[in-house]
Structure 1
Amino acid sequence: MGTVQARSLEPLPVSGPNLSPSVDELETVEVEPETKQEVLENKRVMKKSHEARERLLRLGIFRNVEVLIDTAQGEEAVAEGLDVIFEVKEMRRLTGSYNTMVGNNEGSMVLGLKLPNLFGRAEKITFQFSYGTKETSYGLSYFKPQPGNFDKNFSVNLYKVTGQFPWSSLRETDRGLSTEYNFPIWKTHHTLKWEGVWRELSSLSRTASFSVREESGHSLKSSLSHTMTIDTRNSAILPKRGALLKINQELAGYCGGDVNFLKEDVELQFNTSLLWDCVLSASLWSGLLVPMGEKPSSIADRFYLGGPTTVRGFSMYSIGPQSEGDYLGGEAYWAGGLHFYTPLPFRPGHGGFGDLFRTHFFLNAGNLCNLNYGEGPNAHLQKLAECIRWSYGAGIVLRLGNIARLELNYCIPMGVQSGDRICDGVQFGAGIRFL
């Protein structure tokens, strides 16, 4: 157990070397008191202290962080000064965990071992085993934040993932190594990533189509990617206000491997609060995959669309090109959603458990296809505007903390094309990313 103490009249800083959790330290900052704003300053100190506590907890190396605020005492005390004391309890050198995790319409059991605060500066080594309904994975990772600025961090991951994709009659095993560097710039957050992965594709069943069997075999992908995120939402799962912009670019093949492509993916979301605790939300997703070289794109790299987390009323990833009932994905897509969220009728459990539920009315639309790159941009847009699938309906949403949500919807699919699989009526969805 350690104690971090700060004495200041100004709000406590939420980052920087003075909040390093690896040592106990005392900092004195003397500022001329503003006695006319005593109450306001006290509130600001309390707010900043709470933010600093949340940052310390997010490091994942403390079991508990308590904040004590008192008037300054002692010979060095200044008029109207405050003492802010952080009492922390570090986690054990080796910890284990067992929990369940919700993905996009998938659940899994997760076992983990962690060495937190390995060298006293919030470094972590983590081993994790996950067994799910469609995916099994092993992973070993090392995480290193920058001292004094924990929003900047570096990580290395070694992993093996085996996934089953029944909508494509495909099984994929990835063995890979990746490195990531995360850093903020002004109001944006950036991630630079290199990934080298040995991929093994095989048929999931004897009835798999020839197109899927043709994709079977081994490939080596080496790619560089960059993600920029601007997120002003008050919640990632059920936001009431704020916006999200996320842009991801991936370039494969120019740093090794036999897979070559350029991939762009964009996500937009806007949320605004209305009267009576109602929320209007609008989302737009789009993506483009351009093969580089003579080889066509791989089924493992293409986009997929449809299901309870994207275009509701359609079965999981059952929109777009298909062969003998196996869905092959597409090289270009767009999807949009409009939601109107309201509290439960008559607000049962208001102020408690009932606030985890929302009713919503939705309208979804989208399209996914392959492109002929000799036709030009106008032909691409025309192809994406043809045969639009869309759906509407209503349902109930349950928020699981700030990590996932469940939906039970009644869906009415429209614009159905030959080969699409629909879910007309009640549809259940679970995940962390919803259109």
Structure 2
Amino acid sequence: MSCFSNTSASGRKSIVSGRILPATIGFFLLASTASVVVPDVAYAQQYRFSTVEITGNQRIESGTILTYAGIGRGERVSAAELNDAYQRILASGLFESVEIIPQGNQLVIRVVEFPTVNRISIEGNRRLKDEDLMAALQSQPRRVFSPAVAEADAQTITEVYSAAGRLAATVEPKIIRRSNNRVDLVFEITEGRVVEVERLSFVGNRAFSERRLRRVLETKQAGIFRELIRSDSFIADRVEFDKQVLRDFYLSRGYVDFETLSVNSELVRARDGFLVTFNIREGQQFRVGEVTVVSDLEEADPDLFMDEVRMRSGAIYSPSLIEENIARLERLAIREEIDFVRVEPRVTRNDADLTLDVEYVLTRGPRVFVERIDIEGNNTTLDRVVRNRFRVVEGDPFNPREIRESAERVRALGYFSNADVNAREGSTPDQVVIDVDVEEQPTGSLSFGASYSADSGAAFTIGFSERNFLGRGQSISVDLNTASSSQSGTFRFVEPNLLGRDLAFGLDLGYVTTDSDNATFDTRRINFTPSLTFPVSQNGRLRVYYTLEQNKIFDVDNATASALLIADEAAGTLTTSALGYNYSFDTRRTGLNPDAGVVLRFGQEFAGLGGDAEYIRTTALLGAETKAWNGDVTLRGILEGGIHHSLGDTNSTVLDRFRHSSSQLRGFSSNGIGPYDSGDHLGGNYYAYARLEADFPLGLPEEYGISGGLFLDAGSVWGLDDNLGGTISDDFELRATVGFSIFWDTPLGPLRFNFSQPLKEEANDDTRSFDLTISTQF
């Protein structure tokens, strides 16, 4: 008996109405069993067949069918054994129907083969691509068609849509009969609407507001950009991930007893959204109590190791602090040539004063070595790119914590969609093999864009970047920009592991022509800058570089321009050859304090190694931010300044001097303050700015993505090597401005609208009451 009726070449037949239901399966088996023709005394009668006739088979050999039947010629069999033979043939999955008919000494086996899949097509899908869905299917062209496999494929496609937030999607597999016992398999999809998270709420939170906790989660409430933002789609796996993220958030802030009691996901009446509620228990916040180091090893001095601990009593307890200090102590043991040291933290809870005493115990770990590191799945990326992320090599002592950190560094490369790092026993019990299994993903991009700013007007940009050039881990980028007031082109190349070390080599080439930020003259700058960057501490990095520049000022109006600009133009093309360095210190690298961070940048440039310019340029920036009111308000302070000191008998040019940027002192246009002469701001040899900011919620629904901020800026640009006998005022004149900001998180990026009011300005300053920028951090 056949499950499928014949249809025309253009007709379609549903596969058991799109789903193989239990009742349908039961009916099928009942009908199939009925097709075994046996006498009424089947349970008592015995059969012996001298011949077996097989009919209906086209592709399957008769011998194969006999093998499935398991009935030998001349062998005595019962009716029950005939039924077993029928079941075995049917279970092979090769036939639509099977009949076993005893006719005297002859056994007749009639079969109807399943057709062959001619081709597979997917229809009705608009949100997901054919190739993405095809990759998940088990059914394949030129293979025997199986209704069970087709139904499983339909369920797989449904699950893929569910993972994309379309829980209402349905998939119906159908077949189109073709000649020569072939069929086309078609999956008809009804995608349905995205099921969104209409409301994301919390029960049991006391220390942190719902607004603050929502910012932690990957799942977001449906906002006004719901057609563009997919993070507001309801995905069950994402909710599970959010439970772990929420726990990490609380643990890093000392809430060691935190737990998510339950997550309730309720479908709204319209069935197009979920109400998700996290039921949590925060517990009490714990701080660090007494911190000690003890040693079970004679060669390890506890006092020496205690000096390396960076954890003070009274600080908010955080597991990341523990991990950081364990790493520091293990690195100290390596420097002291003490192998196989394991640091075990023992935490004692003091409920009376809500503190946790931490004792670091130095013990001898097992003598296990790394036999080798095996890397698989990197079809393009070279092995050495992955190996550079490991601080251990073959033959080093095995350290599980170091392997975990290496795995995180491999994932942080961004070259792989998945990276699994596991350890297994090697050729001997005292050796392990590190298996690295990666799955590569695209790392290149080609971008086109348009923008507008008050400083440069409308601009068009084309860019190309590749973060894993030729699989070597190198990055390369090319950007071309044209605006109404400037044109630029840049090329950048970075080798992050020069000579197999944590040493980055960079090469920058640039070409820029501008009207000098709305000045009455034009400039051209060409630069060539190789550099080396390397870590000097856990949070500090140092960059040393050489730069060769050619600068030119032209189109100066000799009738009206400042004598300084006329002299700069008369000098023609000037060459600058300089060595420099930049040091950066950023506590946000470790994240030991998730609510605060400090950034320090300091750099100097020494010009005079040939060329026309001789100077020492020094710049510095110090920034700090912290969160207040349980993380709802962010307070930020930034100080920055610079000095340009000309050497010998040279004077600074307008391109050497510091020029004001609208992001440094809001409320004033770019190059809109500082020494002024004959209609142009000339820049200065000195600059200093101070900025204070506060970001806070406005009380609007969070799905709008809109928050507010206040800022107070003060600073100035001043100083010239030649003020033309005092005719140009180049003294320090403080400017100050106050303003209000609106932050808007959009699919295009975080936008910032600044509304400014200068508190102190000079007569020739160019002020600006409104500014629209991309929101950035220091």
Q: TM-score range by the shorter chain?
A: 0.7 to 0.9
CA distance in 2, matches of 1:229, 1:136: 30
> Segments of 4+ in structure 1 off by > 6 A?
17-20, 24-30, 44-47, 73-79, 101-104, 204-208
C-alpha distance 399-294 of structure 1, shift in aligned 2 (>3 A): farther
1:129 to 480, 485, 504: 480
Counterpart check, 1:215 vs 2:568: yes
| Distance in 1 of aligned mates of 2:746 and 2:499 | 32
1:23: which partner in 2? 383
Partner of 2:57: none
Q: Secondary structure at the match of 1:299?
A: coil
TM-score of the pair, normalised by structure 2: 0.43
C-alpha deviation, 1:70, in angstroms:
6.6
The question of whether the paired residues in 2 share the 8 Å contact of 1:252 and 1:261 is answered with yes
Q: Secondary structure at the match of 2:713?
A: strand
**What are the residue-to-residue correspondences of 1:199-278 with 2, within 5 Å?**
199-203=551-555, 209-211=561-563, 212-216=565-569, 217-233=572-588, 241-253=596-608, 255-277=609-631, 278=633
Q: Secondary structure at the match of 2:768?
A: coil
Matches within 5 A, 1:119-158: 121-124=472-475, 126-146=477-497, 151-158=502-509
CA RMSD of aligned residues (A): 4.2
Aligned-pair distance for 1:335?
Answer: 0.5
Match of 1:52 among 410, 413, 429: 410
Cα distance in 2 for residues equivalent to 1:319 and 1:202: 22
Instruction: Go from structure 1 to structure 2 and tell me whether the alpha carbon gap of 1:76 and 1:53 turns closer, same or farther (over 3 Å shift).
Output: farther
User: 2:463 touches 2:477 (CA, 8 Å); kept in 1?
Assistant: no
d(CA) in 2 for partners of 1:82, 1:400? 46
1:53 alignment partner, SS class: helix
- In structure 2, runs of 5+ residues without a counterpart are 1-341, 343-372, 388-392, 723-729
Counterpart of 2:482 in 1: which secondary structure? strand
Give the corresponding residue for 1:183. Answer: 534
Measured after TM superposition, the shift of residue 108 of structure 1 is: 4.8
Q: SS at 1:259's partner residue? A: coil
| 1: CA distance, partners of 2:683 / 2:374 | 50
* Corresponding position: 1:315 with 2:689: no
Distance in 2, Cα, partners of 1:226 & 1:316: 26
Specify the code of the residue in structure 1 equivalent to 2:504: N
Give the aligned partner of residue 396 of structure 1.
Answer: 742
What's 1:427 paired with? 771
The one-letter amino acid of 1:23's match is: D
Q: How far 1:210 moved relative to its partner?
A: 3.2
Check conservation: 1:67, 1:87, Cα contact below 8 A.
yes
- 2:635 matched residue in structure 1: 280
Q: Is the 8 A contact 2:426 2:433 kept in 1?
A: no
What SS does structure 2 have at the residue aligned with 1:304? coil
CA distance in 2 between partners of 1:220 and 1:272 (Å) = 44
Give the number of the structure with larger relative contact order, counting CA–CA contacts within 8 Å between residues 6 or more apart. 1
Flag the structure with higher strand content. 1
* Partner residue, 1:303: 658
Q: 1:409-424 to 2 correspondence within 5 Å?
A: 409-424=754-769
2:437 to 83, 86, 89: 86
SS class of match (1:300): coil
Contact map agreement 2:652 2:721 (CA 8 A) in 1? no
Secondary structure of the structure 2 residue equivalent to 1:244: strand
Q: 2:462 and 2:628 mapped to 1: Cα distance?
A: 39
**Deviation, structure 1 residue 267:** 0.6
Instruction: Check the 8 A contact 2:461/2:479 in 1, yes or no.
Output: no
Aligned partners of 2:736, 2:562: CA distance in 1, in Å?
A: 30
User: In the aligned structure 2, how far is the partner of 1:162 from the partner of 1:23?
Assistant: 42
C-alpha distance in 2 between matches for 1:196 and 1:162: 17
1:132 Cα deviation after fit: 4.0
Q: Does 1:194 align with 2:546?
A: yes
User: Which one-letter code corresponds to 2:628 in the other structure?
Assistant: L
Residues in 2 aligned to 1:300 and 1:151: alpha-carbon distance in whole angstroms: 35
| 1:422–1:32 Cα change, 3 Å | closer
* Contact persistence 2:651–2:721 (CA under 8 A): no
The more displaced of 149-158 and 363-372 is 149-158
Name the CA shift for 1:183/1:359 in 2 (closer, same or farther; >3 Å). Answer: same
C-alpha contact (below 8 Å) 2:485/2:518 kept by paired residues:
no
SS at match of 1:264: strand
Q: Is the 8 A contact 1:18 1:27 kept in 2?
A: no
- In 1, distance between residues paired with 2:771 and 2:527? 35
1:99: how far off?
Answer: 3.9
Local SS of the residue matching 1:49? helix
Counterparts of 1:312 and 1:296 in 2: how far apart (Å)? 30
| 1:366 and 2:718 matched | no
Provide the residue aligned with 2:15 in structure 1: none
Matched, 1:109 2:461: yes
Cα pair distance change 1:48/1:302, threshold 3 Å = same
CA distance in 2, matches of 1:358, 1:82: 51
Counterpart of 1:189, as a letter, is R
* Superimposed CA distance per residue, residues 64-113 of structure 1 (whole angstroms, 9 cap, x where no aligned partner): 3312367858987899x997633132759xx6622449899665513336
Residues 246, 103 of structure 1: alpha-carbon distance in 2 compared, 3 angstrom cutoff: farther
Q: Deviations over 1:126-150 (max 9, x none)?
A: 5443334543233444432325866
SS of the residue corresponding to residue 52 of structure 1 reads helix
2:681 equivalent in structure 1: 327
Task: Look at both structures and tell me which one has the larger radius of gyration over its CA atoms.
Answer: 2
Query: Which residue of structure 1 aligns with residue 524 of structure 2?
Result: 173
Question: In 2 relative to 1, CA 269–358 (structure 1 residues): closer, same or farther, beyond 3 Å?
Answer: farther
SS for the counterpart of 1:301 is coil
SS in 2 for 1:390: strand
SS in 1 for 2:693: strand
Judging by fraction of residues, say which structure has more helix.
Answer: 2
Say which is worse superposed, 289-298 or 65-74, in terms of deviation.
65-74
State the distance in 2 between where 1:196 and 1:210 align: 28
> Quick one: distance in 2 between partners of 1:113 and 1:32?
36
Contact 2:513/2:523, CA 8 A, preserved across alignment: yes
- The TM-score with structure 1 as length reference comes to 0.73
Q: How many Å apart are 1:185 and its aligned residue?
A: 0.6
Provide the rounded CA distance (Å) in 1 between the counterparts of 2:429 and 2:485: 61
* Corresponding residue number in structure 2 for 1:378: none
Distance in 2 between residues matched to 1:22 and 1:414, nearest whole Å? 58
Q: What is the aligned partner in structure 2 of residue 7 from structure 1?
A: none
Name the CA distance, whole Å, in 1 between partners of 2:529 and 2:399.
50
Would you say the 8 A contact 2:446–2:464 is kept in 1? yes
Question: 2: distance between equivalents of 1:315 and 1:183?
Answer: 36
CA distance in 1, matches of 2:580, 2:745: 31
Q: Secondary structure at the match of 1:233?
A: helix
**Secondary structure of 2:407 counterpart:** helix
Structure 2 residue corresponding to 1:293, chosen from 640, 643, 648:
648
Query: Do the aligned residues in 2 keep the contact of 1:98 with 1:111 (CA within 8 Å)?
Result: yes
Q: 1:101 to 1:252 in 2, by over 3 A?
A: farther
Deviations 1:298-322 (A, max 9, x none): 1001112252x12111222211111
For residue 642 of structure 2, what is the amino acid of its counterpart? G
Q: Structure 1: which 5+ runs fail to align? A: 1-9, 11-16, 34-40, 374-381
Separation in structure 2 between the aligned mates of residue 72 and residue 22 of structure 1, nearest angstrom = 23
More displaced, 105-114 or 174-183?
Answer: 105-114
Q: Is the 8 A contact 1:168 1:328 kept in 2?
A: no
